Structure formats: C-alpha cells, structure tokens
Amino acid sequence: MTLRRQSMNLQSVRDYSEVPFTRNQHLVKSSRRIAEILAKKQARMGTNAVSSVDKRDVYFFRKKTFGRVCSCAMGTSSPSKNCRICYGKGFVGGYEKYGTWTEVIDYTLPEIEFVNVEPAHDLNVVPTLFRLKSGAKKGVIKATLRLRKNAGYCDAFQIVDSTENGNSVEVLVREVGTTSWIEATTQNMTTLMHSEQLEFKVTLARRSASFETPYFSHIMLRYGLLPYDKLTLPVDIPRNTEGISMLDAGWDESFGSLSVFMDNRVHTIQNDDMLFFPEKNRWVEVTEVQPFHAVDTVLSFDVTCQFVQKYHSVYNVPV
Ligand SMILES: [Zn+2]
C-alpha cells in the first residue's frame, strides 16, 4: 500500500447529511426591493430595465477565517485543497452553514484522548490520521463536546475513516453523566441534542496486528441553531442572465457565472463563501460582492458566483 501526501483515499465515508428539505417562504417585500435596485442599476447602465427575477432558496456557507488551524495547514503556508476536514480553507470545518453550528473531532482537538492509538505522522498524509499503535489490535479515542443552546436537531453527521479486511472503526456516543452508549448516527445524535455535553468513543480494531488499517480521520457534527425551516435564505436571480439556464440545465462542464441578489439577513458576504441550491443540487462559490448601503446599513448584496465543478473538493461539503 503506497501512501502519498494528499493522495490517501478515505474510502469509507459514512455520510449522514441527507435530511429532508423544507421550502422557505420568500419575503415578497425584499424581492420587490431587490428588483427595484436591479432596475435602477440597469437604468444607470443604459440598458432595459429588468422585468422579472427568479426566486430561489439557498443554503449559505460562510468560509471560516478563524478557529483551529487544520492539521493539513500546520507547518505549511498552503492548506491542502483536497482536505476533507477544511476543504482547503485551513481552518477545521472549512465553512459555517447559516443557522447551524459545526464541531469536528480530529487530531487538532485539544482535549482528545487516545489509548493504544497514535497520530500517523510518518505517513506524510494530510489531514493527520489516527491508527493503532504497533502490535495493538484494539484502541480507543475519546473526546467530549460541549453543545450550544440549539434547535434540537442534528443537521449533518459524518464519520471519515478507512478500513479494509474486516477491520473496523466503531463510534459510540452518550450524554455526559449517563451510562449507556449508543451508536453515533444522525438520528441518534438528534435525540441527544438536549444534552449539555456529549462524550464520543471511537474504537479502532483489527483482526491481526499486521494489518495497516483501520485509519480514523474525523467526526463532523453539525446541529441547528435556527429552526429547520429557517436555514434557507431567499435569493433573486435576474431572468435575463445566462447563469440561470446553467443552473437549471446543470451543465457541469460549464465555467459560467451566476448573479444573485441577497437581502441583509447575513451581515457580510465575502469571496469564497458558498451557496447551495437544494432544488438543483448545485454549488456556487462567491467571486465578487457588491453591497448596497443606505446610510450605515447594508440593504442587500449583489453577488457574483462561479459554478462549482464536481471534481472541486468543496463539492463534498455536507449539505
Ligand atoms: Zn485541512
């Protein structure tokens, strides 16, 4: 088994991010205001006023610019673009989804404890993976997360590991102070969202000490701070742009851009933030932002986005 920097394939990604999508009602008032701004802008440019806009719902993902430095970015000036923990952003988690909170249990978590397990630094793989110590057939990683006041549901849950030949990584969870462990799944996580603190137990096991696997990368837990039907934001897209047909047709080979107008529910938007269109299953990345101010207040944003290609690592961010 040859392992090269950044090329490790974590084949067993258990992705529990599939959750039912509830449509959010658009704010008619804000859409009208945005249409007016658009019309004025178009008038200034000496073109025909826009007659209509297309309304869509998006999930908004803010690029992280602070927090724990990802293990892929330690001792180097550039984080790994293929990193499954930070997606090349350099901070653990990579993004914060609007209305939610993300926690990651990985090598960089200060309070992480492990027995018969070690970080596999000599592999030269990023992010840093855990593996069983030489000669050990079983080992344990333990970590505790303190939960914020939340809306009572798990929005996404991922365990990223690598196993083969019947070797295993088992993840159990319990509320701190209780006795019985349960399997960590999205559903079970939701039942525990009332807890103040959650304790995770990751058990790595192999049939023979001669096997190289299992490897454990990380656990990602995202839970709702806002009610589930408040997670989407309305955006308006001018109908006379090419981008909207790309959005609808899903031309993945295209490198086109899309203009959207957002109201001021998010206070800032910056380059590299991401939008996800759940109806179209399409990611776009922000490349340009023009805020509209009135006195000291931002009223809305004129945002230019680039379609994200499937081979781009951020395509793997759990929706
Ligand atoms: Zn990283």
Identify the pLDDT of residue 37.
64
Identify the pLDDT of residue 245.
80
Distance 94 CA to ligand 1 centre (A): 8
Q: State the distance between the two ends of the chain, measured CA to CA, in whole angstroms.
A: 32
275, 308 contact by CB (below 8 A): no
Spatial CA neighbour of 282 closest among 262, 308, 257 = 308
Buried b (16+ CB within 10 A) or exposed e, 71-106: bbbeeeeebbeebbbbbbbbbbbbbbbbbbbbbbbb
Identify the pLDDT of residue 19.
34
Identify the pLDDT of residue 53.
85
Buried b (16+ CB within 10 A) or exposed e, 123-146: bebbbbbbbbeeebeebebbbebe
Per-residue pLDDT of the chain (319 residues; tens, 9 = 90+): 333 344 344 444 444 343 333 333 333 445 556 666 666 665 555 444 445 788 999 999 999 999 999 999 998 889 999 999 999 999 999 999 999 999 999 999 999 999 999 999 998 889 999 999 999 999 999 999 999 999 999 999 999 999 988 899 999 999 999 999 999 998 999 999 999 999 999 999 999 999 989 999 999 999 999 999 999 999 999 887 778 888 887 666 567 889 999 999 998 999 999 999 999 999 999 999 999 988 888 889 999 999 888 888 888 899 9
Instruction: Decide: residue 179, CB within 10 A, 0-12 exposed, 13-18 middle, 19+ buried.
Output: exposed
Compute the distance between CA of residue 101 and CA of residue 155 in angstroms, rounded to an integer: 9
Distance 158 CA to ligand 1 centre (A): 16
Identify the pLDDT of residue 249.
77
**Residue-wise pLDDT tens digits, 292-309:** 988 888 889 999 999 888
Distance 64 CA to ligand 1 centre (A): 12
Distance 141 CA to ligand 1 centre (A): 20
Distance 260 CA to ligand 1 centre (A): 29
Distance 86 CA to ligand 1 centre (A): 4
Distance 84 CA to ligand 1 centre (A): 7
Question: What residues have CB less than 8 Å from 158, skipping those under 6 apart?
Answer: 13, 14, 15, 16, 17, 218, 219, 220, 318
Q: Which residue has the tokens 């399997």?
A: 183
Identify the pLDDT of residue 241.
78
Q: Which residue has the tokens 């090419």?
A: 242
Distance 85 CA to ligand 1 centre (A): 5
